[in-house]
Structures are given as C-alpha cells and as structure tokens.
C-alpha cells in the first residue's frame, strides 16, 4: 500500500499581469517544460536509489558469509526493501517503523495464543485459535476504519493482522515460532536499515520540503486566477465581442490537493530534524491553511462561472466599475503573493497591522461602489449581475483576510524570523 503524490514543480507567475513580458502561450510552454523536467529528474533519482538499495540487500544472498548467517530468510530483507521504500524519506521511515511494530506485536500475540492453545488439546486448540483470530482481527479492522487511525497507522494495523494470523494458525510449536520470528525480524531489520540509509543519505526527498513548497505555490496560483478574472472580464470593449476564456486550472489543482496535503503532513511528522524544519514543527497549520485556500479557490471558480454567464450588464455599466475592480484584483494578487513569499522565505507577515486594514479598506470601497449613483437606476437583470459580481469579490477579500491571519499564526507558532 503506497501513497502516490504528485511531485511536479509548480508553475511560477509574474508579480503583476500588467507587467508580463512573455506571451501567455510562451509562459505556458516554458512552465510546462520546467514542470516535466523537474518531475522526470526526481523520478530518476528515486529509481536509482531503489536500485542501490536492492543491490545492497541482495548481498545477503550473493556473499556466502552473509548467506550462511541468514539463509533463505534473506528473501524477507529483499521483500522489505520492495514494500517499504517510498519516494519521500518520511514515508519510508513511517512505513518501516509501522511494519516493524506491527510484526512484533502480531508475532508476540500470535505466539502467546499458540502457547495457550498447546495446553488445551486438539479441540481446545481450535477454539482458542479461532476466538483469538476473530477477536484481534475484528478489533484491528475496526481500528482501521477510524479516520484518524486509518490516515496515520493503517499500514501497521494491516501488518499486525497478517502477522498475527500467520503465527497463530501456523500449527508450529511455540519454540519454533519464536526462533522463526527472531530470524525473520532480523532480516526485516536489515532491509529496513538499508532503506533508511539510502533514503536519508542519498539525495533525500523530504515530504516537509514538498509540503512547504506546494503550500506557498498555491498563493501564486490563486493570485493569477484572480487577476485573470479581472483582466478577462474588463477586456471586452463592445457588445459584439465575446469574453476570453479564463484559465482556472490553478484553482482546480488547489481543490484537488487535500489528500496529498494530508499525506505529506503525515509523512513530514515522521521525518528527523533537517534544514529549516525541526521536531514538533506545526504541520497541522499547513493543513488549516490548505483548507482556507481551497475555500478561496471555490469562490474564485464561482466568480468565473458568474463572469461567463450570458446574463451580464451592459458595457457602460461594466466600464463604470472597471477601474475600482481592476485595482482590487491587482491588490489581491499582490497580497496573495506576499503571503506566499512569507511562507517560502519563512518570514513573519504582520497581517493584523498591515494586510488586514488594507483589505478592510478595499472591502469598504467596494461596498460604497455598490451603492454609488453610477449603479442606480439600472435594469433588474443588470443590477442582479453587478450585485453578484461585487458580492463574490467581497467574499474573496474576506477569505484572503482569514488567510492572512492564518499565515501570521503559522509564523508565530513556527518561529519565522521577523522581516
């Protein structure tokens, strides 16, 4: 059971869509090339690391002195490398430890059940084994269905169930079971040691670095989407022109990132101290920020559908709100990128002092705009379209304000340095 997570590089956007020098198709092509190259390079490195681990663990078979010590149990070391070695170091470490704990607990309880069953005769043996297999299997399976346990320890419980059943129903004498368990545990430990050595010391892939980078890149994605919405909506000059399509692929990718974020956060908790991330780093804050970002992405998608709706106000009415709304779009884009850079550079942002008052002022300007004389006396349909557009824009401002507070809280808990 392996977790597949997209490890591709995120697209980078320019600070302001009004200052972009490359045409959109060139920017899209170059970012796609960078994305594919980065993804391909990481896959090649991971494949080489797995090959090195397999060569090292195969020495248990190939070298006669080692083979004489472990015998045919060397196959368990190879199986451990194949099953445990994951892309991220945290995933490999968690899977190996869970496999070891599950094997020890399952084997120990299985041996205990076998010892108790030996003294009760044939019928008693069958009853004890059957009851123990049912009880432990049902209890462990129920635990696997609890979301918090399934998310973090599902693999360990699965190995526990498998090991317990294999030992309890094997029919071997207790002393032989203990000897076999000791031999297999030693070879499993060898395979796990090879995995950890290769994963941590040979170009390690840290889940914490990936989660940190992906979280900060989402801010730029949504900033681009907000700016594209404003640019496309106000780029139409007359009634005969159709509004250009709005690229919201960034919003869709953000909405689909929940499972990968949770997996990366879980792997990051298992990783040792490295680089900028120490023990007890607040990875749950990244999950909270991700939730708020996805809520913001859903609002932006709603705005995109609103702007592409055939029910739109006339061009003069759009022109009346063009400059204030485009200014809001630019301001939101800059704010989002500042928040993303705060996470990337691990520098504190003073949201309550600087960002939040600026957003509240922008929100007040939109509220005043919605009640301005320019928008009075228009048709009901046009009034509804303008009200819907301004409402969604205000909702975006509110969500960015919440996001700014979450980023500031992350900086305080994680100990980001002051700017």
Q: Distance between alpha carbon 241 and the CA centroid of its chain, in Å?
A: 41
pLDDT (tens digit, 9 = 90+) per residue, 203-221?
Answer: 989 999 999 999 999 999 9
Q: DSSP H helical segments within 169-282, as ranges? A: 174-201, 207-233, 249-255, 258-270
The torsion of the CA quartet 401, 405, 411, 412, rounded to 10 degrees, works out to: 160
Please give the DSSP secondary-structure letter assigned to residue 88: S
Q: What angle do CA 215, 37, 247 make, to 5 degrees?
A: 55
pLDDT at 409 over 60: yes
pLDDT (tens digit, 9 = 90+) per residue, 90-122?
Answer: 999 999 999 889 988 988 888 888 777 776 767
At 220 the pLDDT is: 93
pLDDT at 403 over 80: yes
pLDDT (tens digit, 9 = 90+) per residue, 139-192?
Answer: 999 999 998 898 889 999 999 999 888 888 776 566 676 777 777 788 888 889
Whether the predicted model's global pTM rises above the 0.85 cut? no
More confident residue, 364 or 185: 364
Rounded CA separation 115/110 (Å): 9
At 19 the pLDDT is: 38
Q: Give the mean pLDDT of 252-280.
A: 89
Rounded CA separation 363/360 (Å): 5
Rounded CA separation 189/305 (Å): 55
pLDDT at 131 over 60: yes
At 242 the pLDDT is: 67
Of 305, 258, 266, the residue nearest 283 (C-alpha): 266
């Amino acid at each position: 059971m392996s977790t597949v997570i997209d490890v591709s590089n995120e697209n980078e956007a320019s600070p302001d869509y009004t200052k972009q020098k490359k045409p959109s198709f060139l920017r899209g092509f170059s970012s796609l090339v960078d994305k594919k190259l980065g993804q391909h390079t990481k896959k090649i490195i991971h494949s080489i690391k797995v090959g090195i681990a397999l060569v090292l663990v195969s020495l248990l078979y190939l070298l006669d002195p080692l083979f004489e010590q472990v015998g045919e149990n060397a196959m368990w070391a190879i199986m451990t490398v194949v099953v445990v070695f994951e892309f991220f170091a945290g995933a490999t470490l968690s899977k190996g430890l869970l496999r070891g704990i599950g094997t020890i607990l399952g084997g120990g309880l299985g041996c205990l059940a076998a010892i108790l069953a030996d003294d009760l005769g044939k019928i008693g043996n069958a009853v004890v084994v059957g009851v123990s297999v049912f009880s432990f299997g049902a209890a462990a399976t129920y635990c696997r269905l609890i979301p918090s346990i399934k998310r973090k320890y599902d693999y360990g419980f699965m190995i526990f169930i498998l090991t317990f059943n294999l030992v309890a129903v094997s029919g071997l004498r207790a002393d032989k079971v203990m000897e076999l368990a000791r031999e297999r545990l030693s070879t499993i430990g060898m395979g796990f040691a090879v995995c950890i050595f290769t994963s941590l010391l040979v170009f390690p892939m840290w889940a914490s670095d990936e989660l940190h980078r992906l979280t900060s890149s989402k801010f730029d994605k949504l900033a681009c989407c907000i700016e594209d919405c404003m640019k496309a909506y106000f780029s139409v000059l007359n009634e005969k022109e159709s509004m250009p399509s709005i690229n919201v692929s960034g919003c869709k990718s953000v909405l689909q990132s929940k499972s990968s974020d949770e997996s990366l956060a879980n792997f990051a908790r298992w990783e040792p101290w490295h680089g900028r991330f120490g023990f007890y780093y607040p990875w749950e804050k990244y999950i909270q920020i991700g939730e708020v970002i996805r809520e913001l992405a859903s609002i932006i998608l709603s705005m995109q559908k609103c702007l592409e709706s055939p029910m739109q106000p006339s061009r003069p009415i759009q022109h009346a709100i063009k400059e204030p709304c485009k200014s809001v779009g630019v301001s939101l884009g800059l704010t989002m990128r500042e928040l993303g850079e705060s996470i990337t550079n691990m520098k504190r942002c003073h949201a309550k002092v600087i960002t939040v008052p600026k957003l509240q002022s922008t929100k007040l300007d939109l509220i005043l705009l919605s009640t301005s004389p320019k928008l009075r006396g228009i048709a009901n349909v046009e009034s509804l379209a303008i009200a819907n557009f301004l409402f969604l824009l205000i909702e975006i401002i509110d969500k960015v304000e919440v996001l700014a507070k979450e980023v500031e809280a992350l900086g305080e808990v994680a100990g980001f340095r002051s700017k």
